[in-house]
């Protein structure tokens, strides 16, 4: 039946009924499409959540493994440093003991040589002084003998007789002066030589406390440096976790 054959009321009813059916179909189509999109979004969200959880779990395992490896490496490094420092200290102790033994032997040998040199020097000085005194005595005796002969040969005058006591007095004065001058050299030489011994001993003994003080300082510095690495490596490793989480 043609629409023109209908009256206006039926025509309007027919058009309205057609519009209602069309709107109902469109509503069903939109609801079905919305349901499909919702299911797809939910499925995608669930898949993304599983992937993020799996990635986060993998990152956590990697960070834990890295932290464990760093901790083992630091512990091994500290153990090696401790052994190395202990070995170095043992070597330094042996070196210091050997050096002390050598210094002691050197000082003892030097003291022995100095003692022998002083004794030899004193013996030479004694011989030289004795020889000098003997020569002076002979010279004075010879001079006195010559003066006596000269004065005796000219005893005829009063003037020559006066020369004898004056000449003897002058000649006899030389002997104590010469002996006094020569004997003064001996204590001066001994004093100068004996001063060298305590100075050398003092210089050698000063080396021991300096060496002992230097060796423990190296141990403390190396140990302090090794212990500083542990918290720095831990902080560096733990910082990776929030960065990886924010990335996903």
What is the per-residue pLDDT across 185-242, written as a single tens digit (0 to 9) for each? 666 766 666 666 567 656 666 665 665 566 566 656 766 776 677 677 667 766 766 6
Identity of the highest mean pLDDT range in 24-28, 108-112, 209-213: 24-28
* Per-residue model confidence as pLDDT tens digits over 32-52: 999 999 999 999 999 989 999
More confident residue, 68 or 6: 68
More confident residue, 141 or 230: 141
In whole angstroms, how large is the CA radius of gyration of the chain? 60
**104-to-63, 113, 161 alpha-carbon distances in Å:** 60, 14, 71
Torsion (CA) 13, 14, 16, 22 in degrees, nearest 10: 160
* Per-residue model confidence as pLDDT tens digits over 55-108: 889 988 988 898 888 888 888 888 888 888 888 888 888 888 888 888 888 888
User: Tell me, what's the pLDDT at 41?
Assistant: 94
Which positions ≥6 away from 208 have C-beta within 8 Å? 96, 100, 103
CA 222 to chain centre: 9
Q: Could you tell me the two tokens for 228?
A: 């500083």
Q: Indicate the pTM of the whole model.
A: 0.36
- Of 15-29, 104-118, 230-244, the least confident: 230-244
* Per-residue model confidence as pLDDT tens digits over 154-196: 766 655 556 656 766 666 666 667 666 666 666 676 666 666 6
Burial class of 230 by CB neighbour count within 10 A (0 to 12, 13 to 18, 19+): middle
Question: How many whole angstroms separate alpha carbon 79 and alpha carbon 76?
Answer: 5
């Amino acid at each position: 039946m043609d629409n023109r054959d209908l009256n206006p009321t039926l025509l309007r009813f027919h058009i309205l009924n057609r519009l209602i059916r069309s709107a109902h179909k469109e509503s069903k189509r939109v609801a079905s499409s919305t349901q499909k999109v919702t299911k797809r979004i939910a499925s995608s969200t669930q898949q993304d959540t599983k992937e993020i959880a799996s990635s986060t779990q993998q990152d956590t395992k990697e960070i834990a493994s890295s932290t464990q490896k760093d901790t083992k490496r630091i512990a091994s490094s500290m153990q090696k440093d401790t052994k190395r420092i202990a070995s170095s200290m043992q070597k330094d102790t042996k070196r210091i003991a050997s050096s002390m033994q050598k210094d002691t032997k050197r000082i003892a040998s030097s003291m022995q040589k100095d003692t022998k040199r002083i004794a030899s020097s004193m013996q030479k000085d004694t011989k030289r002084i004795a020889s000098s005194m003997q020569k002076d005595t002979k010279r004075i005796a010879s001079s006195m003998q010559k003066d006596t002969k000269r004065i005796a040969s000219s005893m005829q005058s009063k003037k020559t007789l006066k020369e004898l006591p004056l000449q003897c007095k002058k000649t006899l004065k030389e002997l104590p002066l010469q002996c006094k001058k020569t004997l003064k050299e001996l204590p001066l030489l001994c004093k100068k030589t004996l001063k060298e011994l305590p100075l050398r001993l003092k210089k050698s003994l000063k080396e021991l406390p300096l060496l002992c003080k230097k060796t423990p300082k190296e141990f403390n510095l190396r140990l302090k440096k090794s212990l500083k690495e542990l918290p720095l490596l831990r902080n560096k490793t733990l910082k990776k976790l929030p960065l990886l989480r924010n990335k996903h």
